[in-house]
Amino acid sequence: MKIYNTLTKKKEEFYPLNPPKVTMYVCGPTVYDFFHIGNARSFLLSDMIRKYLIYKGYDLKFVMNLTDIDDKIIRKAQEENISFSDVAKKYSEAFFEDIEKLKIKKADANPKATEHIAEIISLIQILIEKGYAYVSEGDVYYDVSKFAEYGKLSGKKIDELEAGARVEVSEHKKNPLDFALWKKAKENEPFWDSPWGKGRPGWHIECSAMSQKHLGETIDIHAGGSDLIFPHHENEIAQSEAACGKQFVRYWIHFGFLNILTGDKFEKMSKSLGNFFTAREILKKYSAGAIRLFMFQTKYSAPLNFSEDALIASQKGLEKVLNFSENLDVIEKKAKNSNEISFDIKKYFLDFDSAMDDDFNSPQAIAAIFDFIRDFNSFVAQKEPTLLDVKNAKAFLQKTAVDVFAFLADNNKTSSFVSIEDDLINILIDVRQKLKNQKNYELADFIRNSLNKIGIVLQDGKEGTTFKKERKYE
């Protein structure tokens, strides 16, 4: 397996620190509002990578933090006239509700900044003792000039950054690039006691402290949006490696922006520009499966243009997979009771694995799934499949479209419901046929039309009536 490492700017063979164990940290949300579909791209791509690593047999520990104390949270609390903790609680719960709807597996741990104040203070103290940080009137800053490798992730140089710095200038800093590890409490703001006075942690130090506690001093994979490369991830490296004297992250993975048409051009979707849709809004119009298929049909590192047309196309693509999956149940009932293999499924597993092993090339892996569907349909049209052929086909869909990409519902979990649903439809087909035999065409047509309205299309043929499901989403 090869991964493009932002740190080295090249694809590298993936060698975990302690195989088969793998540690992975992802920057999670700042819980002050509902997350938008651009944020969702990072969460969904992290979920895909996580699931593929599990598919490959790794023993993965996956951590995604929640930033529950921040300027944005404080402003939101003031706007709504509630406590900052109530804001964080409200939107943390909303976050978990929305990722569940998007079929994103909950992390093994979701550490919160406010629950790790002791670890944050301890890490800051180490940095002060080692000479990498300094106290200035109740604030604590990291001195970037003391870390010789500052800029190694982003490729930025300190002297160039200083020349055109767009960072906050403060008379309390030694250098305009120095960043806050601890912020002195302002009036009417939440605070914690510390050796430097009342205050709260800076954003960057939170991730270093939480990842260190839950995953150790060196982690295998750190992922997040490409907008976090600088300064957030650069600062994480500086403070973590200065404190521990060890490599912080072995493989850095960064996701491309989700762009949306703003005026006459596509721009990054963001709350600051106001050009966004929340994940909740999109989920009211499109299924989670369609959203996931849309996100994964573009390489994780590339920008992706969001549009209604693209989501509609993904929904139609999903319909093909859903109809094929359901048709396998019909084929299975007619298949030869034999363990012979007439259809070579290994080719498609190899194609899928080859694509995903090449830096998680999800578009190519999805193409392998659609190639399989096309070829299996052609095979069934020409030959009679065996039970083992159908079993292998189902296994391929389960392992790829369900276990890794999760755009297809897990048949193992829904089969009993689907069976009852299909039985009820067949009962209605039988009733309709009896009505036709009695020449009660009006009521027979009523059944056909009513089923059609809910996405169930009846197909009359020489051998009787069959049905096809064309799902409709509100």
The distance of Cα 459 from the centroid of its chain, to the nearest Å, equals 39
For residue 455, the model assigns a pLDDT of: 79
Residue 287 inside a domain? The answer is: no
Residue 308 inside a domain? The answer is: no
* Residue 63, strand partner residues: 25, 109
- Cα angle 260, 264, 268; round to 5: 30
Asked if 144 and 48 sit in the same domain, the reply is yes
- Last residue within a domain, chosen from 380, 402, 424: 402
Fill in the amino acid letter for 353.
D
Residue 297 inside a domain? The answer is: no
- Last residue within a domain, chosen from 351, 369, 402: 402
Asked if 66 and 91 sit in the same domain, the reply is yes
| pLDDT band per the 50, 70, 90 thresholds, residue 216 | very high
**Full-model pTM:** 0.85
Asked if 250 and 396 sit in the same domain, the reply is no
Asked if 134 and 71 sit in the same domain, the reply is yes
Asked if 379 and 440 sit in the same domain, the reply is no
DSSP 8-state code for residue 413: H
Q: Is the peptide bond before 385 cis (omega within 30 degrees of 0)?
A: no
Residue 336 inside a domain? The answer is: yes
Q: What is the C-alpha to C-alpha distance for residues 27 and 150, in angstroms, rounded to an integer?
A: 20
Averaged pLDDT of the chain:
91
Matching residue, tokens 């991730």: 207
pLDDT (average), residues 155-175: 72
User: How many domains would you assign to the chain?
Assistant: 3
Matching residue, tokens 């006239």: 81
Residue 254 inside a domain? The answer is: yes
* Residue 466, strand partner residues: 459
- At 424, list the tokens: 């009820």
Asked if 30 and 117 sit in the same domain, the reply is yes
DSSP letter for each residue of 255-278: EPPEEEEETTEEEE--TTTT---B
Residue 417 inside a domain? The answer is: yes
pLDDT (average), residues 424-449: 91
Q: What is the C-alpha to C-alpha distance for residues 304 and 297, in angstroms, rounded to an integer?
A: 9
pLDDT, tens digit, 9 for 90 and up, residues 13-49: 999 999 999 999 999 999 999 999 999 999 999 999 9
Residue 277 inside a domain? The answer is: no
Asked if 381 and 247 sit in the same domain, the reply is no
Strands laid side by side in the 133-136 sheet: 133-136, 139-142, 179-184, 199-201
Fill in the amino acid letter for 279.
A
Residue 310 inside a domain? The answer is: no
Reply yes or no on whether the pLDDT at 240 is more than 80.
yes
DSSP 8-state code for residue 402: I
Q: What is the C-alpha to C-alpha distance for residues 311 and 313, in angstroms, rounded to an integer?
A: 5
- At residue 448, φ and ψ (nearest 5 deg) are -60, -50
H or E element, residue 465: strand 464-469
Is the CB of residue 201 less than 8 Å from the CB of residue 120?
Answer: yes
pLDDT (average), residues 426-431: 88
Asked if 221 and 342 sit in the same domain, the reply is no
Asked if 451 and 379 sit in the same domain, the reply is no
Asked if 323 and 460 sit in the same domain, the reply is no
Beta-strand pair 10-13/2-5:
antiparallel
List, in order, residues 6 or more apart from 288 with CB less than 8 Å away. Answer: 101, 102, 103, 407
Fill in the amino acid letter for 21.
K
Is the CB of residue 236 less than 8 Å from the CB of residue 25?
Answer: no
Q: What is the C-alpha to C-alpha distance for residues 435 and 447, in angstroms, rounded to an integer?
A: 10
Q: What is the C-alpha to C-alpha distance for residues 15 and 396, in angstroms, rounded to an integer?
A: 27
**How much of the chain, in percent, has pLDDT values that exceed 90?**
77
Ordered alpha helix ranges (H), 297-440: 308-334, 346-357, 362-382, 387-397, 411-437
Reply yes or no on whether the pLDDT at 418 is more than 50.
no
Asked if 376 and 258 sit in the same domain, the reply is no
Q: Say which CATH number the domain at 358 has.
A: 1.20.120.640
- Last residue within a domain, chosen from 252, 268, 284: 268
Reply yes or no on whether the pLDDT at 409 is more than 80.
no
pLDDT (average), residues 404-414: 72
Asked if 125 and 62 sit in the same domain, the reply is yes
Q: What is the C-alpha to C-alpha distance for residues 94 and 35, in angstroms, rounded to an integer?
A: 9
Q: Which domain holds residue 417?
A: 412-469
